[in-house]
Every structure is written in structure tokens, then in C-alpha cells.
Structure 1
Amino acid sequence: MVKHTTIWMTCFCIASLSAVIWPVLPHPLLLTVCWLLLVGCHVLLRQSKWYRYFVPVRQRNSLLPEYLLWAMIAFNGFLTGCIWGASLGYWYISWQQPTEKFQQDVILPVAVEQVRPAHSTTQCILTVALITHSQHYPHTAALDTKLIAGWHNFWLTPKARLYWYAAQPCPTPGQRLLVRARLRPLTFLRNPGGPDSGRQYIAQRIVATGYVKSLLQQLPASAASLHQRISQAIRQLAMPNQRWTLALLTGDRSQLTDTDWQSLQHTGTAHLFSISGMHLALIAGWAILIASYCILPLVSLFTRGRAQPPLRGALIFITWLICVAYTALANWQLPVCRALLLLTVAGLCYLRAAFIRHTDMALIMLCVCCVVFPFAVYGSGLYLSIGAVMVIWLVHWRIRPNLTSLMARWRWFMLLQAWLTVCLLPLTLGFFDTFSATAPLINLLVIPIIGLLLPLGMGALLVLVLSNGAWSQPLRVFDQTLGGLTTGLQNVASALPLATVSLSWLSLVALFVAILLLLAPAFSTKRWCIGILLMPVLSQFLPFNPRYWYLHVLDVGQGTALVFSQGARAILVDTGPAYPGAASAFERHIQPALRTLNLTSLDAVYISHGDNDHAGGVPQALAYASAGQALSSVAGCQQGYHVQWQQLTLTALWPQAANNIDDNNHSCVLLVGDGINHVLAPGDIEKQGEYGMLYHSAIRPVDVLIAPHHGSASSSGALFVERFKPDYVVFTTARFNRWGFPAPSVTKRYAQVGSQQLNTAVGGYTRFRFSEDDAVSVLSYQQQHPRWYYRPLQ
């Protein structure tokens, strides 16, 4: 490509992708200024290039130098990318309702896109597109149409995730419904080792969650797509492993259970059952293979002795049509569409005998994806797919394999799989914080099997469609074979550990550069450079300095979970809530955080009281910890309890000894300190309990106070606040919680005594560091990872 075009597209892509890590969105006034600068750059650039042709060569030195023109082009592309990224951010924000509009019944016309099973209290969980209201939906007049404004575009329609509480059976994908629902704003839990849920919501264009209260009307649906018709035909067969068959052949993964996903994650084979560019490449490869060895010989046979027609274009066109049909079968999922786009560009270049370098091809694909699939830049699929393509090209350029024999091809496949695993490791850790050490070996065995099963499954599916469902036996045989493979994967997953590693972005970048240097040609200081780059990565595995002790306030939503640590040892105070039919907060958030923070030993578990938001994960915590029993307000954690743990002293200030009441006012109140710095964890104690504790216990000011009862108006009385007078007070609340915690009267009382107020709903995970010599230091997740989509709605 032309150098100017390459520079412009590169800068555009860099700016568009950088929107993922922006702490704030640029102000609209700044965007206007950017537009004016952009227009000015265009004018100067065009005038300079135009007049250059009419100026004598000797006088061209008075014009803008070439490097300045290149800088203007780069600035032009970067500004355009910034404007595009900021526009998408404001577009996403404009889809969301103001906070006062939530927790109200609304009538929504929705198009059901995905249905997956849920726990026993509800029938299913829907992912729905909020379609445009019109004269065909008169009931939507009562709805604030801001949420569903716009047009019903396949890739640019806001979505919602709704629990189905209606009396009717769960709907099927493709149906259009008019429902009465109650929406909730999006909530994000931010902890070390946890997923970036806000970024995932944007990638899926989800702007609200909630539940369906009743079904009002089933709206006329559009014509069923190929994906919907084939999926429905497979479901009607009721095969024992149909969830795996649907996932592999149609990309419908809604029936996969949490156990299924866990086995795929442990074996590193989740990408095999998520239709992507690899599957499209397999289909294209088999199509070319069958055409080359079956169709082309027949054409040669019938045209013997005559001039053969040009078959190259016909072969490419037929292969492209097959790939389009497969993309439609996969419901036009973004990874497959990106691969189809790449194949289309490659096919056109091949037909026109045009040469495009691999780097230029990747740049074109990335630039088009940023424009056509704009919200994909917030997901992991875009980076993993483009990264895999670039790794294949890079390894092929660097090693230049000899593929003359079958054994050489097999060795090349094994080597390529190993390099893919190593090179994509930084991306995998950056997005998922986990990796499977045995994934390369398992993929070496499973990918060839999938490569054989996929065309056989598509053939069986074609037989089923052509026979109008009469010949289902080939597909049933395929289902049984695939079931044997997945059963083997589940058996292997049960015996394999899954490593959880959380690295900073600086460490991930250093690791990525070190891996690239491994592929680079040899130079004198290559080993030294790789060693230096790996130092930030290795430092991440060191435990905390034992000179300090830490309080980790985890973000578990409307609940409390505290971890006190020193060195590699920790104790847990409260476990957060449990969720019906799903993993508890301990399994979802606390356990990954402990591993990420390199806290290898959980010595004790304390429970303030038995409410779910404090004690929901007790069984899982005890199974993880070395403690045999949790200490609570009715079992050991009472006045008189005093224990030394490393350099810290743990003292129970409340309830009184021999207490057998398990409620808010009799919560276990723990005072943790080293003689200089102190932390008070009062559970859900309210004013009655506060006065009792103040009367029966010796009280002193503390450095950090966990707000009683999450900051409710029934707690944190004036005398309690005045006596403890904390330097920091932390409210453990959920974002947009329906109780309005913390109460304004409570925050006012803490402000009057000069306490610095923190809230996990705003800052996420918060860490305090204490020592005998230094002042208390505070660091929150929001300070470590500021993102524009975590900022409160205005």
C-alpha cells in the first residue's frame, strides 16, 4: 500500500484501540476542536501536495518538508481514531437510562437473541435486543423511548440481559415479544484476578439488566434465519449431546452448563466450541480440497481435447459462497465475520493478481473491524483472532518450514501450536488471568479430531436438511462421537489444575516483547534483553513485604468480605453473599483474589453474623482454608476473645460472652491492630448494639473503620462515630443498591469528624497498607485501573 495510507490507518487503529483504557471520555467541546484541527490538517495537506507539482524543483525547499507531511497524516489518522472512539463511548452512554428511571415497570418490545438455563428460582436468562418501537407497537407509548431509540441494526442495537420470571415458558431465540419488565443499571465488581465486566458489557452492547415480570404479547417475528431453522431442527432430535453439537455446528452455546465451560477452560479448548476464524478456515480448506480432487477432475474429463474454461475464479467463488453460508449458519458471529472479511480480501487480491504484504493485510482487517464492528475493540475475540493470524505469519516468515512430507507437516503443526500458545499467553493472561499449562498438548490431539469431525458434521447436517428431517441417523452418529470426545475432555479437566495469574499491563507488555525477541534473529545482547524484560513478570509472583500488614476490602456487591494479610498468610472476615444455583462470591471473587495476591495460606475464617451477604460462602471458605471451623458471634467470637496472629492482635469487642443470638445487633465486632494502627470490623451492628458495645468495652480511635451495616441510617450513631473517629471509613455497598446505602445522614456524621470516606461501589477493591513507621497508604482498583465506563452515570 501507499506509505501515507499505511501511516494513516496505523494511527487510526492505535487511537481507536486506545479507547479501551481511557480514564475519561473527551469533552464534546474538545471533540469539536479536534474536528477543526482535523479539517485544517486536511486543507494544509491537500494544498501542499497540490502546489508541489507546480513549483520548480529548486524552490520546493520553501514548501513543507516530507516528514512534516507524514506527521500531519499521522496526526490526521490519530485524531480521526480518537473522535471515532469517543463517539462510540458517548453512543453507548446515550443508550442508558438515567438512574431515576430504573426500578420502575416498563413495557419493552424485545427480540430474543440468546436463551440459557438459570437456577431454580427462574426459568432462564435472556439476552435481548431492544428493538425500535413504532406504530406496530402501540403499548410502548408508556415507555421512555430513550432506551430503544435508534434503528434495529444487527451490530448496533443496544441489548439487555433479563431473567425470565413470567408464568409462560421460556421463549426461543428469534422471537419478538412485548414484555413488562423492570430494569436495573449495570453493576461492576472489580477485584484482583476478576474479569473486567464493564468492558465485557460494552463488547456485547448490554446497557441494562433486569427481569421480565409478564409477557404481554408475542409480536410478529421476522423470517427465521438459517441459524434459527437449523438449531430448531437439531433440538427436535433430542440427542443426548445436542448442546455440544449445537455449539460446534451452529455456534449456539446457550445450553452449555457451567461445568462444561469449566472443563473447556481447564483443557484450553474453549475456542474449539466457539465458532471462529479457525472453523471457517477448516470449512474453506475442505471446500477447496473436495473441489480440487472431485469437481475439477470431472471438468477436465468432460473437456478433454478442448480448451478448459478458467476454473480459478469459479473455485474461489464457490468456496466463498460456502463460507458465506457457514457464516450465516453461525448467526453472523463477529469472529466468523472477521475471518470472512479477511478471506474476501485475500480472494480478491488473488483473482486480481495483486500483491499485499501480510502486515498490510492485517492492518486492513484491523481498520475495517474498528469501523464495521466498532464495539468489538472492547472484547477479547478481536485481539486473540488478529493475534493468532499475526503469530502464524510471523512464525512462518521466521522459520520457513519445509512441508514436502506428511511427517514434516505434522512437526510444523506441533511447532506452530506451541508458538501460538506461547505468543498468545500475554493476551490470555491479560483478558482471563488464567491459563492451562497442558493446553498445547491437548490441542495437538483435539484440533485434528475437530478438523475431521467438523466437515462430517456439516455433511450430516446437509443430509438432514435435504431429507427434511427423515435421515437423522448420520447426525446422531456424529452426536455420539462428539459426546465421546467431550466426555474425555471432562475427565481430563477434572484431573488438571488451572493456573491463575494476574499481571499488570506493564508486565504483560514486557512479556509480549520478550516473546517477540525469542522469534527475532540472533544478536549479541538478545539473552540479556529477554532476561531484563522478564524481571517485571517474575516480580509479580513475590509475596507482599512482611514488614507491612494489609487490609484488603473486596468488592462483592451488597455484602462484606475483608482479608487481613501479612507476608503470604491471611485471615478472612466475612465471605460475601451466595447466589442461588451459581458460584458464591468466595468462589467468584475472593478465591481468585487470594491467588492473584499470592496469599497461599488462609489461616482463619471469621463471620460477623449469619446473614447471606456476610456468610454466604462459609462452606467454600472453610474448604479452601486450613481452619476447621469459622468463628462467629455464637461460636467463639465474643467478648474475651483475644488472639495473637503474627504481629497482629485480634480482639472481639462485641457481643457479650455466652451470646447465642445471631442477628445484626449481635454481630461479631473485631478490632485488629499492631499496637499502633487499628482496624475495626463491626459487621452489621446497629445503634442498639453500638451503645451496648460502647458501654461494655474500652474504646479508642481507629485508623480504618468498616461502616456498620453498610452505612444504613439505623447505624453509625453520633456517639459511635465520635468515639472511634476513624481516619478512613469504608462503605461496602453495591452500585445503585435499592436501600440507598450509604445514607446521607451517616456520611454527614463521618464528614463532621474529618473521616475520609471510601465506597467499594465507586472504587472497587480497596487496599490499606500499615506499618509501625509509615503512614497508612490506600490504593483502590479504580486508582489502579481508571476506565471511563466505570464512572457514575450523570
Structure 2
Amino acid sequence: MLPNSLSAVLGATLCSVLPVLPDRGLLAVLGATACLACCRRSTRIVAAGLAGFIGFAVAAGSALDQRLAPSLHRTKIEFVAQVIDFPKASDQKISLLVATKDPRLPARLRLSWYRAGATPRLGEYWQFAARVRRPRGTRNPGGFDYEGWLHRERIGATGYVLAAQRVEGRGPTRLQLARQRAALRITALLPAGDARAALLAIALGTRQDISSSAWERYASTGTSHLMAISGLHVGLAAAGATLLLWAVGGLLFPFGNIRDRALLAAIAVAALYAALSGLAVPAQRALLMTTCATGYLLARRPKRPNEVLAMTALCVLIVDPLAILSPGFLLSFGAVAILLQASRLSVAHRRPGVMWASAAALRELTRLQAFLLLGMLPFTALTFSRTAWLAPLANLIALPLFSVVTVPAALGGLTLGGPLAALGDGLLWLAWHSLRFVHVVIDTLAALPAASVKLAQSRGIAIVCLLLPPLWVLLPQGFPGRHLAWLAFVAVLIYLPPRPPVGCVDLYTLDVGQGLAAVVRTRHHTLLYDTGPAYTGGSSSAERVVLPFLASIGVSEIDALIVSHADKDHAGGVSDLLGNLQVKKVLAGELLPAVAKQRPCRIGQHWRWDGVEFNMLHPTLPSAGNDSSCVLQIDAGGTRALLTGDIESRVERGLLRANLLGQATLVQVPHHGSATSSSEAFVARLGAEVGIVSSGFENRWGFPKGDVVARWRGAGTRLLSTATGGAIAHRLCANGGLNLLGEYRKDARRYWHDDDF
């Protein structure tokens, strides 16, 4: 059974990484082949793999079909929906997850309500008037795949609220009311802060109060998995209930099958925990895992632990095939598989005495954490682009505390009410204090130098090095060359992607939506031109796009930051960037608030990096608005790129009169393709091979304008857009001319990424 289960999981995994789902005809052929393969015992493993492949394809296709119809994209619709998760409130915005039975809409939508007049509560029904959209997000190397997250959460549309009114007479279910009361109890009892936010996340699955800085500290110390309900928490709750009820049952009911009663009670406790968390997809998966594992124990069928694990994974995929897309699925099953392997390879060294026993236990815990660090390295590097080398130490301290104190006290505190409310409050205080201690440990470790190493995107030989560390987990002790895995681990940590040769420059125009951010790299230097927009709600494209991209290409500091002008869509990420990255020099077209040691962009500024010339062509005098934009020419031996910011036709005419413009190989189309820029004389003088439009997909201004597009194309320029191509990469060289390195939305396409419509 183990090979068949693994084959089914592998088949589903293979289907999940395809750029396009197979059509029905191919699935029918594969289904017939699977039926034939079932007839012989020797080929049933093939049938299992095909079944996993087909099952995932059918489930994924069904989820895609449930998305908003293209004909309703960007339309205003009135509908009634229920709020099914705790709203997340931020500056001027409330984010809502709602469910509706309106046949025109998907079952689940994610809505943003700006400057809301009221705050909806969990379980309430509201009449919404909203402008809805099909799922769409930016696409950049190292960046968050928003479309992928919406797909695996089965959210078929997004939108923003235009008007809303609560529907009277319809309200939350008993479970939703219980969750509301529990959240209000915790917030009323405990002081605000990271510990309370984490307790809400652990007890109720609501993570909206956890700040982005706290998530960063959790990621740096490898403790993010502790702050969200997962198989670990449900398993701890079930295991704790089993031990407690087994012990109590042995005292109160010495006769009968106490073990089975305790196991059944453990399933009930796990179900209660999952219900308190709102039965979100991760909690459902964790409950199913616990139920399957407990079921094998109740059945008294002799199974090896790895067989139980494989069968549980298969059961999860049968119930929820899209679970394999979740990082939590691989984290949960991968970590358990590694721990089972570690226990199989362990060698007992027993000596009498408490000191020896304690030392042996500490040594074994450290060893298990080392197994997890190396065994999970390929997954954490490819999924999270980092490794937390302090994770073994952080988890060594936090996990026992979570197991013995935090989770039992949190659940016990919420369960006890009425006459036992005081005891329940005491348990909640105990859980809170344990979390405060955990946060002291996390904050201390996160403050250490290089607490977390952000890994560059692996290529070529680096992929091979990335796959070697798990060999230390898989191979038995004493196997020749086993310790080379640690050398490969070090190689992964220090790997940096190749930079352009001397005399060449790489230009990356990032997909930041409606705004601009471009990264320029020579052999030994990095320049950032603009930082993209700030978003309503507090974050920015620097945090979401620019910083992750720079980490993916191995950049830890910037030699020069040029902010073309102070408009929000160009300068919105400046503070986040300066707060997280060392920047040697800042040039700006307009004075930037709260930025020290900035210098104005001025015509005549010039520097040379690695055989590449940089010349500032504008502004001549201080000015304001779009026409204050810094205009930068990059010259790699006659192959030129022109970065223009938001200049309009008046500045274009001035550059032409001053005879500052020559032929450009590549140009960033001014002002996102606005009709106020790209005059005929300007376009004709540049004669560019390629023009790049940095704009949001179907933005409200309609950029780029149709006549501007026609003007550039009429001049023989090939136009590329971040709205349709994602991040766009080019290399300019003295001898090699201009080469397109890639369009990320097209090159890294997955089956859930929507085509343009």
C-alpha cells in the first residue's frame, strides 16, 4: 500500500506544476490506461499515479470553472453574502472573506471596503454593492503568488465595496457566535501585543492581528508554523487529550477498554479545536490527518508509521486534492517523514542517572532539529527563499512549551466558562505568559546577526547543491560521503546568481501594478529606479515586490536609489526600502519627506560602472510634479536604455531642443503610456527597438492609451507591458546589443494564472 499511496501523491504533484491543465480527451485516455493497469498487480502502482494525476486535474479544473465569469469582470453587482472569517481592519480599509449563494458569483469572494462606515462581524449577512474582478496579481521572481493563493483557498473573485447594508433577521451560526465570544473574551482579558495576537491565531485561527514585522521575526527564526493552526497544533491537542483521558479514565473506570475511549475522545477534541478555528482548509486537513492516524490505532491493524503517514496523505488528497498546493501540506507530511527517518536511524546510548538521561534527551532533540533543517532545506529554499539556521534552537525551546503549556492552556481556557470562567481566565493568562516568553526568545534570536539567511534563486549547479543536504537525512550513519551534505548546505547559503559581464547591464522592470520600479545591475553595482506604489492599508510594493526580488538575485545593498519624483506610484515604497536595505546614495527629482542625505537629480550628473555609462538628462532646474522626473540614460557601448519616469510632452520638447536625445535601444514609455506623453517627435527621435510600459492590469486610467500604442508601434518599436508580461528582464551589451531575458508571467506560468481577457 505504501508504494501505491506515494505514487498517487507523486501523480498529483506532477499535475500541480503544469503550466496548463490537460484537456478532457487526454484525461479520458489516462483514465482508460489506469483501468487497464489495475488489472495486474505489477502495474497497480502506475494506476495509482495516474489516478492521483487525474483526480488533481479534475479538482483543479472544477476550481477554475468556479471563478467569476469573464463577462462580469469589473462590473458592479449587488448581492447578499455572509462574512465567514474575522474581518481584517487596517488604515482606511477592511478586508472581508464572504460566502454567497448568488448564482452569478463564485461561492467565496475576497472584498476590500475602503473608508467603511461600519465594521462587519463574523457570521453577519450584508447586502453589498461591489465592483468584482477575476483573480489577478502581480508576477515577479521571489514575489508572492496572489493568484495561486486565491486558487488554493477557492476564492473565485475579488472586488471592492461601493456600498453595504447589514441584513436584519439573519445572523451567525452557533459556531460563529462561539468563535466571536471567544475572540472578545481574549481581547477583553489580555493586553494588546504580539502575544495576544499569537494566542488568537493559535486558539481561533484568526491571524489578522499579527503584524508584518512579527511575521518577519517568525520567519527569521523558523517559528511561523507555530503561529497558525496546523497538524502540529491539532495533533498536540489530540495527543494531550489522549494521555489525560487515559490517565483519568484509568483511575475512574479501571475496567473496560480505556485506550479506545481515550482515542475516540482525542478525535472529538481535535474536531472541537478545528471547529473553533472556523474549519478553515488547514484545520480541516489537520483534523483529517489526526482522524486517519487515530483510526489505524483503533483498527489494531499492524502498520508501520511510514505506511500510516502515506495513507493519511492519500486520504487528505482524496478529500481535498488542492491541499497539495499548500506549503502546509508539504511542511506537515515532510516534517513527520523526516522525524520518522531520524528515529529509525537513532542509536540508543543508555547510561544510568538523571543527568545522563537529560543530556541524552537534549542531544536527541538537537539531532531531530538538525534533521529537519537539512531535510526540509530544498522545500524552504524554493518556497520561502530563506533558511533559518537558528530554527533548531528556537524550536527546541518553543515546541516543548507549546506542547505542554500553550496549546492545552489555550483550549482549556476557552472551554471553561460559566462557574468555571475564573479558572478558564487563569488558563488563558498562563497561555499568554508562555507566549510572551516564546516571543522574548524569538525577538532575541531574530536580533542576532544573520539570524535568517535569505537565499538567492537557485540555478544550474546550485539546484544540485540544494538537493544534496537531504542525503544526510536519508543515508545511514557511517555511509561514505554522507557528511558532504553539510558542505552542500554551506554552498547553498553562499550561492549568488551570476551577474552580467563587464560592459553589460541587466535591466529588470518589475511588475508593481500601476507604478514603476526598475532594477539596473552591472558587474559589481546595483541601481534602483523608483520603488513602486504604496498601498492603502499600510504596505507597499517595496515590501511585497522589490525587496523579495532583490533577495532572489542575491542583492543585499543598493549603490544608488533614484526616485524620479514624489508621486505615490513611484515613491510609495521609499520608507520600506530604506528601512530594510542599505542604500549608499539617494537621488530624487523632488524633495522626499523624511529621507536624509538625498541629493537632487540634475542634468550633467554622470558616472561609470563596470564599463557602462550613466548620464542624467533632466531636470535642469528644480520643479514639481511629473515634469520633475529624473531622466536617466544608460549606455553600454552604444546600446542605450532611457528611463523617463513620468515626463510629459513639454519636457520631451525641451530634451529635443537641447539635442540631448539620440537613438535609444530600449525606452521606458513615459508616464505609463499616458496621452500627455510620447509625442510624435520624441518617439521618432528615439527610434527604440523596445518600449516597456509599466502599468497595472486594466487600470482605471486606461494606460497605455490606444493612440500612444499606435504611435510607438508605427515607429517600429516593440511594446512590452508588465500588466501582461509580469516582470520583464533585458540585457544590454556593447557587443551583443539588446536581449530579452524573460517575461516572468509567461515564463513561470502555472495553470491557475489567468490569460488576458
What is the TM-score normalised by the length of structure 1? 0.85
Q: Kindly tell me: are residues 591 and 313 of structure 1, through their superposed partners in 2, closer, same or farther at Cα, counting changes over 3 Å?
A: closer
CA contact (8 A) 1:543 1:598 kept: no
Question: What is the rounded CA distance, in whole Å, between the counterparts of 2:17 and 2:659 in structure 1?
Answer: 48
Three-state SS of the structure 2 residue aligned to 1:768 is strand
Question: What is the rounded CA distance, in whole Å, between the counterparts of 2:408 and 2:493 in structure 1?
Answer: 44
Question: What is the rounded CA distance, in whole Å, between the counterparts of 1:428 and 1:98 in structure 2?
Answer: 35
The answer to whether the aligner puts 1:654 opposite 2:618 as a matched pair is: yes
Deviations 1:415-469 (CA, angstroms, capped at 9, x unpaired): 2122122222222222222332222112111212222222233333333x24274
Question: What is the rounded CA distance, in whole Å, between the counterparts of 1:625 and 1:697 in structure 2?
Answer: 37
Partner of 2:171: 221
Deviations 1:18-54 (CA, angstroms, capped at 9, x unpaired): 2332112233xxx124314523652x457xx5xxxxx
Instruction: In structure 1, give the amino acid aligned to 2:674.
Output: S
Stretches of structure 1 lacking an aligned partner (at least 5 in a row): 50-65, 134-144, 149-156, 301-307
Question: What is the rounded CA distance, in whole Å, between the counterparts of 1:744 and 1:80 in structure 2?
Answer: 48
The answer to whether the aligner puts 1:516 opposite 2:491 as a matched pair is: no
Partner of 2:589: 632
Moved more, 437-446 or 259-268: 259-268
Q: Kindly tell me: are residues 632 and 40 of structure 1, through their superposed partners in 2, closer, same or farther at Cα, counting changes over 3 Å?
A: closer
Partner of 1:608: 564
Question: What is the rounded CA distance, in whole Å, between the counterparts of 1:473 and 1:115 in structure 2?
Answer: 22
The answer to whether the aligner puts 1:163 opposite 2:156 as a matched pair is: no
Three-state SS of the structure 2 residue aligned to 1:351 is helix
Question: What is the rounded CA distance, in whole Å, between the counterparts of 1:662 and 1:229 in structure 2?
Answer: 50
Q: Which of 13, 19, 29 pairs up with 1:17?
A: 13
Three-state SS of the structure 2 residue aligned to 1:697 is coil
Displacement, 1:402?
A: 6.3
Q: Kindly tell me: are residues 45 and 373 of structure 1, through their superposed partners in 2, closer, same or farther at Cα, counting changes over 3 Å?
A: closer
Q: Kindly tell me: are residues 273 and 666 of structure 1, through their superposed partners in 2, closer, same or farther at Cα, counting changes over 3 Å?
A: closer
Q: Kindly tell me: are residues 740 and 127 of structure 1, through their superposed partners in 2, closer, same or farther at Cα, counting changes over 3 Å?
A: same
Three-state SS of the structure 2 residue aligned to 1:504 is coil
Three-state SS of the structure 2 residue aligned to 1:514 is coil
Q: Kindly tell me: are residues 528 and 711 of structure 1, through their superposed partners in 2, closer, same or farther at Cα, counting changes over 3 Å?
A: same
Deviations 1:33-81 (CA, angstroms, capped at 9, x unpaired): 4314523652x457xx5xxxxxxxxxxxxxxxx6xx744x455444443
Q: Kindly tell me: are residues 741 and 20 of structure 1, through their superposed partners in 2, closer, same or farther at Cα, counting changes over 3 Å?
A: farther
Q: Kindly tell me: are residues 733 and 223 of structure 1, through their superposed partners in 2, closer, same or farther at Cα, counting changes over 3 Å?
A: same
CA contact (8 A) 1:260 1:490 kept: no
The answer to whether the aligner puts 1:264 opposite 2:218 as a matched pair is: yes
Moved more, 509-518 or 266-275: 509-518
Question: What is the rounded CA distance, in whole Å, between the counterparts of 1:538 and 1:461 in structure 2?
Answer: 43
The answer to whether the aligner puts 1:434 opposite 2:405 as a matched pair is: no
Displacement, 1:670?
A: 1.3
Partner of 1:369: 316
Q: Which of 495, 500, 505 pairs up with 2:447?
A: 495
Q: Kindly tell me: are residues 626 and 727 of structure 1, through their superposed partners in 2, closer, same or farther at Cα, counting changes over 3 Å?
A: same
Partner of 1:341: 288
Displacement, 1:528?
A: 9.4
Instruction: In structure 1, give the amino acid aligned to 2:57.
Output: A
Three-state SS of the structure 1 residue aligned to 2:117 is coil
Partner of 1:457: 410
Q: Kindly tell me: are residues 647 and 757 of structure 1, through their superposed partners in 2, closer, same or farther at Cα, counting changes over 3 Å?
A: same
Three-state SS of the structure 2 residue aligned to 1:790 is coil
Partner of 1:286: 240
Displacement, 1:480?
A: 4.9
Partner of 1:412: 364
What is the TM-score normalised by the length of structure 2? 0.88
Partner of 2:419: 467
Q: Kindly tell me: are residues 128 and 505 of structure 1, through their superposed partners in 2, closer, same or farther at Cα, counting changes over 3 Å?
A: farther
Instruction: In structure 2, give the amino acid aligned to 1:504.
Output: S
Q: Kindly tell me: are residues 730 and 88 of structure 1, through their superposed partners in 2, closer, same or farther at Cα, counting changes over 3 Å?
A: farther
CA contact (8 A) 1:191 1:593 kept: yes
Displacement, 1:552?
A: 1.7
Question: What is the rounded CA distance, in whole Å, between the counterparts of 2:299 and 2:615 in structure 1?
Answer: 79
Q: Count residues in correspondence.
A: 733
Instruction: In structure 2, give the amino acid aligned to 1:35.
Output: A
Displacement, 1:576?
A: 1.2
Q: Kindly tell me: are residues 696 and 100 of structure 1, through their superposed partners in 2, closer, same or farther at Cα, counting changes over 3 Å?
A: farther
Partner of 1:103: 74
Q: Which of 210, 214, 221 pairs up with 2:159?
A: 210
Three-state SS of the structure 1 residue aligned to 2:84 is strand
Displacement, 1:513?
A: 4.3
Question: What is the rounded CA distance, in whole Å, between the counterparts of 1:467 and 1:164 in structure 2?
Answer: 42
Deviations 1:720-764 (CA, angstroms, capped at 9, x unpaired): 222211111111111221222222322223333332322112222
Q: Which of 725, 750, 757 pairs up with 1:787?
A: 750
CA contact (8 A) 1:602 1:626 kept: yes
Deviations 1:476-499 (CA, angstroms, capped at 9, x unpaired): 532551453255146426623432
Partner of 1:557: 513
Supply the RMSD in Å over aligned alpha carbons. Answer: 3.1
Q: Which of 237, 249, 257 pairs up with 2:188?
A: 237
CA contact (8 A) 2:60 2:322 kept: no
Q: Kindly tell me: are residues 171 and 406 of structure 1, through their superposed partners in 2, closer, same or farther at Cα, counting changes over 3 Å?
A: same
Displacement, 1:390?
A: 0.7
The answer to whether the aligner puts 1:695 opposite 2:664 as a matched pair is: no
Partner of 1:381: 328
Partner of 1:325: 272
Q: Which has the larger radius of gyration?
A: 1
Q: Kindly tell me: are residues 615 and 437 of structure 1, through their superposed partners in 2, closer, same or farther at Cα, counting changes over 3 Å?
A: same
Q: Which of 557, 582, 606 pairs up with 1:642?
A: 606
Question: What is the rounded CA distance, in whole Å, between the counterparts of 1:452 and 1:146 in structure 2?
Answer: 49
Partner of 2:25: 32
CA contact (8 A) 2:565 2:630 kept: yes
Displacement, 1:273?
A: 2.0
Q: Kindly tell me: are residues 400 and 527 of structure 1, through their superposed partners in 2, closer, same or farther at Cα, counting changes over 3 Å?
A: closer
Instruction: In structure 1, give the amino acid aligned to 2:345.
Output: R
Q: Kindly tell me: are residues 234 and 793 of structure 1, through their superposed partners in 2, closer, same or farther at Cα, counting changes over 3 Å?
A: farther
Instruction: In structure 2, give the amino acid aligned to 1:132.
Output: K
CA contact (8 A) 1:244 1:482 kept: no
Displacement, 1:570?
A: 0.9
Deviations 1:368-397 (CA, angstroms, capped at 9, x unpaired): 222312332222111111111111111111
The correspondence of residues 688-767 of structure 1 with structure 2, limited to 5 A, is 688-767=650-729
Question: What is the rounded CA distance, in whole Å, between the counterparts of 1:567 and 1:667 in structure 2?
Answer: 27
Instruction: In structure 2, give the amino acid aligned to 1:234.
Output: R
CA contact (8 A) 2:534 2:573 kept: yes
Instruction: In structure 2, give the amino acid aligned to 1:648.
Output: V
Displacement, 1:770?
A: 2.5
